[in-house]
Each structure stands twice: as structure tokens, then as C-alpha cells.
């Protein structure tokens, strides 16, 4: 959303133009962001899954070469370009998850994801296949708990990778809806209405690592929310983690201006005109570009029966055609090398793809 500056006004950096600066109001008028798989494409995915299983190939070892998709593959490369260089998201619909075992669904999902990027570790345990399911924990009570292990609302944030993907296996009894918003649009609005606060978000904030601390690093890292580099604006944000970093005595204290800037940013992310809400169906796959989008999940009430509980699979991907990122991102991403960055690596991390939520 392009916003004209006021008279005699200079924004902290130019307004973001192009398809990544969209509004929810615009996206609700179209379904161009939904890609529906054909029966032939589903058959292609199933054939690739059967072939990898017949070879006894571990899920974490699957790449494009191990998961050939003769016709769908070229479509997925176009989708990757749309995610990285276009609107920043897609919903792929039609995977018949009800007819697969967890191993079969995970293999299809991981194999499809390999066409969009290289899988990264999502936690200190080295999970390259994540499970988004309530484990009976509380991030409100324990600052080291990750929100995806709870039924709590997530609030708008980015993940530590280029592309984050979700595959819905089962939905909650109520709630648990997905919501996304363009962080490029948020910048445009802030730069037009409160350039002083936009400029503040270009300065570093201490951000909690939530107990997953790489060797030789502090338990928090410092990085701006808005990062202007190589001609592009990239956003990294987790308000809950910024707030919880205040538990560390040596972290810089949040000022009144900091809090005002963060509160304004959050208010824009939650604006019904700007955000796009969506309700997952089993078999839906959502892929998002973390550098231009924020995502959220509403709180939910789950089923009592274990076999019915809300369950999503997650991927963190390093895009082979990703953008350049500023050196400061290495504090969270480990490196800024395109195609080989992101994820969480600690001393005890060993990469694997668990089939059970742990």
C-alpha cells in the first residue's frame, strides 16, 4: 500500500512499492493466492512419496533430487518466486491428508517443501520437521516455552528463516485461525504517519532466544525491526521475545519511545483493513516470506480426544533464490549465506525429522 508523504516530509527510507506491500482488504477480493492441486499433481506427489519410502530414505535426507516432480516441480519454482519476490505468500490446497499415515503426509510435505528451499532446524533439538501441537505448556508462565507448544495466541511475529510453511493435518474444536499481514505495508503507514517511530524501529532491540542459545552467544540478540539493506526492507519481529528479553540485567532497557513504537507497530498488524485472516482446512499448506510478512495464530480450544487434537506440520526453509540480508541477521540466522541460513543450532543440536510431537 503506497502512502503519499506529507508536505516537507522525508521518510526514514523510501516507501516500499510492488506486490509485497498489500492490504488484507485487497487480498480478500481475490483468491489468486490460493493454488489448487490437480488430481494428476497429487498422484505425482504420491508416486514420489512411495519411491522414497521404498528406498528407505530418511525424511530429513529428502531433497529435490530425491523427490522428483516432473510437472509440479516447475510450478513450485514459480511459487517460490512469488513468495520471495512477489506478494510473499501462497496457500496450496488439496492434499488428501485423511488417507495418509503421519509418515506418508510428512514425506509428501517435506518433499514438496524441498522444491521451495532447504530445511532448517526449528529448535535446539534439531527438528527440521516441526509439529505445531499443544503439549500442555504455557509460554505465559515459562519464558523458555515456545508458543507453538501451547493453545495460546501467538501474536504477530516472524520466524528465523526465509520461508515458513505449515501443513494442516487436523483443526481445533474452535479457534486456531491463521492471520498474516504485510510488514512492508506496516512500514509504509508508519513512515507516513509517524516517521519518528518508524526510525526508532530501525535501531536495535534486545530479543530473547528463549533458552536456545548457540555456543558463545548471549541469551538474547540485538537487531532492528526494520532493516534497510541492499535496496530492500526486511523485517524481523517477535514482540513477546522483545519484552521477555528485559529479564536479562545487561539487556538495554525499553524506553517510553520504544514502547510507543512497538505498540503502534502491533496496532497496525492487528488492523482489520491491513491483515488477512484465513481458516485452514485439513490438507492446506501455507508458505510465507518472513522478510516481508508477519503471521499470527488465534488462541484455540482443542478436542479432548488425542486422535482429534489440532495438529500442523511446519517447515523452516532457506530459499535458494533469497534476498541479501544484512550481517546483523547472522546473530539469529547463524549466517547470511543465501540458501544456507536460518534455523537454531546449539551444541546439542542433531538434525532429524521426528514423526511425533515432542
Residue with cell 528407505: 56
Instruction: State the average pLDDT for the chain.
Output: 92
- The CB density around residue 355, as the number of other CB atoms within 10 Å, is 15
Q: How far apart are CA 87 and CA 188, in angstroms?
A: 15
Q: How far apart are CA 291 and CA 161, in angstroms?
A: 9
- For the segment 142-164, the average pLDDT, to the nearest whole number, is 77
Q: Taking the alpha carbons of 296, 299, 305, 308 in that order, is the dihedral positive or negative?
A: negative
Confidence (pLDDT) at 80: 98
Domain boundaries, the chain: 31-333
Q: What percent of the chain has pLDDT over 70?
A: 92
Q: How far apart are CA 194 and CA 205, in angstroms?
A: 19
Confidence (pLDDT) at 147: 60
pLDDT tens digit sequence for 14-63: 999 999 999 999 999 999 999 999 999 999 999 999 999 999 999 999 99
Q: Can you read off the three cell numbers belonging to residue 247?
A: 529479564
pLDDT tens digit sequence for 249-285: 999 999 999 999 999 999 999 999 999 999 999 999 9
**Poorest-pLDDT segment among 6-15, 65-74, 341-350:** 6-15
Confidence (pLDDT) at 275: 97
- Residue 66 makes CB contacts below 8 A (sequence gap 6+) with 52, 57, 111, 114
The number of residues in the chain equals 358
Q: What is the CA radius of gyration of the chain?
A: 20
> What pTM was estimated for this model as a whole?
0.92
- For the segment 215-221, the average pLDDT, to the nearest whole number, is 95
DSSP states along 43-77: HHHHHHHHHHHHTT--GGG--GGGS--TTHHHHHH
pLDDT tens digit sequence for 67-77: 999 999 999 99
Confidence (pLDDT) at 142: 58
For residue 153, pLDDT over 70 is answered with no
pLDDT category of residue 136 using cuts at 50, 70 and 90: low
Confidence (pLDDT) at 356: 85
Confidence (pLDDT) at 2: 40
Q: 316 by DSSP, 3-state: which? A: strand
**For domain 31-333, is the CATH number 3.60.15.10?**
no
Rounded to a whole number, what is the largest CA-CA distance in the chain? 67
DSSP states along 178-208: EEEEEHHHHHHHHHHH-HHHHHHTTS-EEEE
- For the segment 130-153, the average pLDDT, to the nearest whole number, is 65
- For the segment 303-310, the average pLDDT, to the nearest whole number, is 86
For Cα atoms 42, 47, 52, give the angle at the middle one, nearest 5 degrees. Answer: 125
Q: Are strands 232-235 and 226-229 parallel, antiparallel or unpaired?
A: antiparallel
Amino acid at each position: 500500500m503506497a502512502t503519499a508523504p506529507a508536505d516537507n516530509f522525508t521518510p526514514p527510507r523510501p516507501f516500499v512499492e510492488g506486490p509485497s506491500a498489500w492490504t488484507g482488504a485487497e487480498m480478500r477480493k481475490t483468491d489468486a493466492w490460493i493454488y489448487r492441486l490437480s488430481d494428476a499433481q497429487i498422484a505425482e506427489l504420491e508416486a514420489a512419496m512411495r519411491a522414497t519410502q521404498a528406498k528407505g530414505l530418511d525424511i530429513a535426507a529428502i531433497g529435490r533430487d530425491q523427490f522428483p516432480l516432473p510437472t509440479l516441480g516447475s510450478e513450485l519454482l514459480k511459487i517460490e518466486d512469488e513468495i520471495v519476490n512477489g506478494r510473499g505468500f501462497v496457500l496450496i490446497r488439496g492434499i488428501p491428508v485423511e488417507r495418509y499415515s503421519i509418515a506418508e503426509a510428512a514425506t509428501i510435505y517435506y518433499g514438496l517443501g524441498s522444491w521451495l528451499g532447504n530445511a532448517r532446524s526449528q529448535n535446539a533439538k534439531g527438528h527440521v520437521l516441526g509439529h505445531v501441537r499443544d503439549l500442555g505448556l504455557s509460554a505465559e508462565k515459562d519464558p523458555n516455552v515456545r508458543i507453538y507448544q501451547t493453545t495460546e495466541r501467538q501474536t504477530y511475529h516472524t520466524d528465523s528463516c526465509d520461508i515458513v510453511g505449515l501443513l494442516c493435518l487436523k483443526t481445533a474444536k474452535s479457534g486456531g485461525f491463521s492471520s498474516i499481514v504485510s510488514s512492508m505495508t506496516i512500514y509504509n503507514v508508519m513512515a507516513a504517519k509517524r516517521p519518528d517511530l518508524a526510525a526508532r524501529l530501525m535501531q536495535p532491540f534486545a530479543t530473547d532466544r528463549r533458552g536456545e542459545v548457540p555456543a558463545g552467544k548471549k541469551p538474547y540478540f540485538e537487531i532492528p525491526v526494520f532493516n534497510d539493506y541492499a535496496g530492500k526492507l526486511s523485517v524481523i519481529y517477535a514482540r513477546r521475545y522483545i519484552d521477555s528479553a528485559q529479564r536479562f540485567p545487561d539487556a538495554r532497557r525499553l524506553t517510553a519511545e520504544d514502547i510507543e513504537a512497538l505498540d503502534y507497530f502491533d496496532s497496525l498488524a492487528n488492523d482489520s483493513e491491513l491483515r488477512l485472516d484465513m481458516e485452514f482446512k485439513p490438507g492446506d499448506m501455507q508458505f510465507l516470506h518472513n522478510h516481508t510478512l508477519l503471521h499470527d495464530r488465534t488462541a484455540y480450544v482443542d478436542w479432548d480426544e488425542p486422535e482429534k487434537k489440532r495438529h500442523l506440520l511446519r517447515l523452516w526453509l532457506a530459499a535458494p533464490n533469497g534476498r541479501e540480508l544484512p550481517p546483523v541477521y547472522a546473530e539469529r540466522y547463524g549466517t547470511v549465506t543465501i540458501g544456507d541460513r536460518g534455523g537454531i543450532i546449539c551444541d546439542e543440536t542433531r538434525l532429524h525429522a521426528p514423526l511425533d510431537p515432542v
